[in-house]
Structure 1
Amino acid sequence: MNTLNYICIGIVVISVVAAAVTVLLYRQKVRKTVEKISMMLDKAIDGRFEESVFDESALSSVESKLARFLSISTSSSKNLQAEKDKIKRLISDIAHQTKTPITNILLYSQLLSEQELTKDCAELVQALSSQAEKLNFLISALVKLSRLETGIITVSPKKEPVQKLLDEVREQIMPKTDAKGVSLTIENTDVNAYLDLKWTTEAVYNIVDNAVKYTERGGSVRIKVIPYEMFCRIDITDDGIGIAEHEQSKIFTRFYRSPAVSNQEGVGIGLFLAREILAAEGGYIKVSSTLGSGSTFSVFLPMVK
């Protein structure tokens, strides 16, 4: 019995050792395979990938599939770049080909308005000029939006005084506020935020322009800055016509115009462009409004990267 016990114990020990050796060898094989795949991926990331195993192993199959995937990805990347280049040329052509005719229409309508015209002709010239300006704004906005969406123009935010942004907006909007008799109040601030001055000015101007447009003569538009830990908030508040609750989620979509303002000039792209610009630099926009009691558009700009 003692001999049999020893034999059984020996068999168990040998089995355990064999299992341990098998596990160690398997783990070593797995580790080498993982290291090989990791090296393959590193080479693929660096653009130096080449197949090196040519047998029937699983690793060779993975290598071959990775090579095909990289080849397809490279081809897709080249095609995508080619399409972007085509879009870039198309946008440039549109901007170039439409600029001169529209400028000429505006010039000729201005020259006509300076002539002695009958009342009916003067009204027609005024309508022509107004529609030409509307077309000019639409094409300009669409070109800017297309350049943003295709990455032709990138927004490059850097730390800037928010007061500088507001001063730029004030200078651009004052002719409209003066002409309509709407008062504009901007509270001074010493807050800095990360923004692209040119593009953010355009975004905030579009919002303020809307506020002035939908505020009656004698009304007011107020702008103030509220700093938080991560963001600064720019509130643009008017006492205009307000926005119905069911429309507040729609006003930032492309070409949306409320039936309530169909008699007002506009193309429904200013707020959409503003939202796209702010999103591109890490900010966002919200609206709070009550129909008939004015609106507050809140622009949030990051204060830290």
Structure 2
Amino acid sequence: MTKRIFRSILTVTLTVLVASLVLIVGVLHGYFQDRVLEELARSTAYIARGVEENGMAYLNDDLPKSSRITWVASDGTVLYDNWEDEASMGNHADREEVQEALMLGRGSASRYSDTLSQKTVYYALRLSDGSVLRTSDTNYSVWMMVLQALQPVALMMVLAFCLALWLAGRVARQLVEPINAIDPSAPSEDVYEELSPLLTKIRSQNRQIQRQLLDLQQRREEFTAITENMSEGLLVIDQETRILSYNSAALRLLGAKAPVEEGESVLTLDREAGFRRCVEEALAGRRCEELLERDDDCRRVMANPVEQEGKLAGAVLIVLDVTEKEQRDRLRREFTANVSHELKTPLTSILGTAEILENGMVKPGDVAHFAGNIHREAQRLIGLVNDIIKLSRLDEGGPAAQWESVDLYGQARSILDQLSTAAEKKQVTMTLSGTSACVRGVPQIVEEILYNLCDNAVAYNRPGGTVSVTVEDTAEGARVTVADSGIGIPPEAQNRVFERFYRVDKSHPSGGTGLGLSIVKHGAAYLGAQVTLHSEPGKGSTFVLQFPKYVP
């Protein structure tokens, strides 16, 4: 803007200077041309007086040749010319100034002279005998006078031009500085009165922009609050796969870091083929769904195209954590397979023994042995079914029983009494120590948890071993510790002993169903308790059951 103002002021100044110069030249030219005519009139009158008194003799005298002198008869014949040979000159009756002099007594003209090849000013005066005396001078002399007078004018013009340059720059800066100093966010009214409508409009627009920004910020905060509290990952991308919006759940589920640069490609977050396929399909206008499996985690990615005014604008990606669902499905499949296998084993044994008895292939003395085998397998089958029912109830939310206060010490003493016969057979010594500690829970579930822990401690012990049960009432809550001096559990198997049907050594003579510790884990979770395990192969295992603090 400063340059435009500067150029405008300078252009106006130059235009005025050029116009002034043209006007001055025109005025000077007219003025000096009039002066030339006046000089020619005086000279002509002076020479005419001499010619009338002395005739041709006066003209032949040494007159100055600075001006051309021509004597023309009344019929136009050239009688004398001090610059040219009069005999070679044509008739001058048609000359404008001659005709005017013959008619009016004097005349003047200005024209291009063929003889002199330049523009000439003429003045003619009629003599008493009817002849015409004409003097002339070239226009060159007029311009010489103009140029002589123009030199000081040109100097003043140059000085005026320099002054105009300085003033134009100064005025432009002074005009623009207050405008440049205007703060768009809070424009002041003390600038120019002409700018008041503009400043009023800017203030109105500022208020409108502020309202829109506040509204946009509020909506953005609401959107961020919603998306950040989502457990599902959300990604919004454009046609070029650039990330427009995302929430922290998406980064967490994809195991990615926040985009370093604005507009970074979504493909930098996850380079798996399934994820890339989802993005490509969505940007092609087709819905896509893929399952991403990484280590023990499972993520389901659903991509949907987004259209705007009938054109594809981008895509929305939803990332779901389906690890638990997939694990449940896998556990369900494993559970079904294991149940089928575990049920098949005793049923096959019972069926085989029954067929032998039915076919009469057993001696009368061995019937009791085979019947005992059927009884044992039937008991094992019933125990397995009971354990499966217990786990199913725990998966469904536990048995329909009321919660009440349970004394862990008394419960543990009752369970040790139940297992005393089995312990004597294994030559295992069981001890109970500690104090009374009450918890809030379902007595049936508490009993099943403690029974399975103590039963395993006896079953997987060695002859002459010990089982120590300790009940404590700590500041964190009631605690039950079941320690044995049995075979122990290898480190690589300690994370799996709580799985259903998992047995460290399936050939062990105690041969349980593999559901005992799974019942312990699910029962403890139902009661809000925690189970921890510490075991060393050959030295024994210690299970700690920590209950939450109970205030009667």
Task: Specify the alignment match of 1:245 in structure 2.
Answer: 491
- Alignment partner of 1:295 out of 533, 536, 541: 541
Task: Specify the alignment match of 1:76 in structure 2.
Answer: none
Q: Distance in 2 between matches of 1:190 and 1:159?
A: 12
Alignment of 1:62-81 (within 5 A): none
AA aligned to 2:192 is N
Assess if the C-alpha contact under 8 Å between 2:436 and 2:471 holds in 1: no
Counterparts in 2 of 1:201 and 1:9: CA distance versus 1, 3 Å:
farther
- Alignment partner of 1:264 out of 498, 510, 518: 510
Alignment of 1:9-24 (within 5 A): 9-21=196-208, 23-24=210-211
Task: Specify the alignment match of 2:126 in structure 1.
Answer: none
Counterparts in 2 of 1:197 and 1:176: CA distance versus 1, 3 Å:
same
AA aligned to 1:5 is Y
Q: State the 1:213 CA deviation.
A: 0.9
Q: Distance in 2 between matches of 1:230 and 1:195?
A: 16
Assess if the C-alpha contact under 8 Å between 2:404 and 2:442 holds in 1: yes
**What is the number of equivalent residue pairs in this alignment?**
228
| 1:13-36 Cα shifts (integer Å, max 9, x gaps) | 44223432454377579979x99x
AA aligned to 2:457 is A
Counterparts in 2 of 1:16 and 1:143: CA distance versus 1, 3 Å:
same
- Alignment partner of 1:197 out of 424, 427, 443: 443
Assess if the C-alpha contact under 8 Å between 1:155 and 1:281 holds in 2: no
Q: Which runs of 5+ in 1 are unaligned?
A: 36-101, 110-116
Q: Distance in 2 between matches of 1:292 and 1:129?
A: 34
AA aligned to 2:482 is I
Q: Which has the higher helix share?
A: 1
Q: Distance in 2 between matches of 1:151 and 1:304?
A: 21
Task: Specify the alignment match of 1:185 in structure 2.
Answer: 431
Name the SS for the 2:547 alignment partner. strand
Q: Distance in 1 between matches of 2:487 and 2:463?
A: 12
AA aligned to 1:8 is L
Is residue 8 of structure 1 aligned with residue 254 of structure 2? no
Assess if the C-alpha contact under 8 Å between 1:240 and 1:294 holds in 2: yes
Assess if the C-alpha contact under 8 Å between 2:407 and 2:436 holds in 1: yes
Q: State the 1:286 CA deviation.
A: 1.7
Q: Distance in 1 between matches of 2:415 and 2:381?
A: 22
Q: Distance in 2 between matches of 1:161 and 1:152?
A: 20
AA aligned to 1:124 is F
Q: State the 1:260 CA deviation.
A: 6.1
AA aligned to 1:126 is G
Task: Specify the alignment match of 1:98 in structure 2.
Answer: none
Q: Distance in 2 between matches of 1:173 and 1:125?
A: 25
Task: Specify the alignment match of 1:114 in structure 2.
Answer: none
Moved more, 208-217 or 23-32: 23-32
Using structure 2 for the length normalisation, give the TM-score.
0.37
| 1:131-187 Cα shifts (integer Å, max 9, x gaps) | 111100100110111122133636765543322332342343234224443221111
Assess if the C-alpha contact under 8 Å between 2:436 and 2:473 holds in 1: no
AA aligned to 2:516 is G
Q: State the 1:196 CA deviation.
A: 2.2
Q: Distance in 2 between matches of 1:249 and 1:264?
A: 21
Alignment of 1:29-44 (within 5 A): none
Assess if the C-alpha contact under 8 Å between 2:498 and 2:518 holds in 1: yes
Q: Distance in 1 between matches of 2:191 and 2:533?
A: 87
Name the SS for the 1:302 alignment partner. coil
Assess if the C-alpha contact under 8 Å between 1:207 and 1:271 holds in 2: yes
| 1:274-305 Cα shifts (integer Å, max 9, x gaps) | 11110111112122112121111111211159
AA aligned to 1:170 is L
Task: Specify the alignment match of 2:388 in structure 1.
Answer: 142
Q: State the 1:271 CA deviation.
A: 0.7
Q: State the 1:208 CA deviation.
A: 0.5
Assess if the C-alpha contact under 8 Å between 1:157 and 1:195 holds in 2: yes
AA aligned to 1:147 is R
Assess if the C-alpha contact under 8 Å between 2:458 and 2:467 holds in 1: yes
Name the SS for the 1:205 alignment partner. helix
Task: Specify the alignment match of 1:206 in structure 2.
Answer: 452
| 1:98-130 Cα shifts (integer Å, max 9, x gaps) | xxxx9xx9xxx9xxxxxxx95533322222111
Assess if the C-alpha contact under 8 Å between 1:148 and 1:154 holds in 2: no
Task: Specify the alignment match of 2:476 in structure 1.
Answer: 230
AA aligned to 1:172 is Q
Q: Distance in 1 between matches of 2:216 and 2:490?
A: 67
Q: Distance in 2 between matches of 1:257 and 1:212?
A: 16
Q: State the 1:210 CA deviation.
A: 0.7
Structural RMSD (CA): 3.6
- Alignment partner of 2:519 out of 273, 284, 294: 273
Q: Which runs of 5+ in 2 are unaligned?
A: 1-174, 179-189, 223-346, 355-362
Name the SS for the 2:192 alignment partner. helix
Q: State the 1:257 CA deviation.
A: 1.3
Task: Specify the alignment match of 1:47 in structure 2.
Answer: none
AA aligned to 1:262 is H
What is the identity percentage for the equivalent residue pairs of Structure 1 and Structure 2? 24
Assess if the C-alpha contact under 8 Å between 1:160 and 1:193 holds in 2: yes
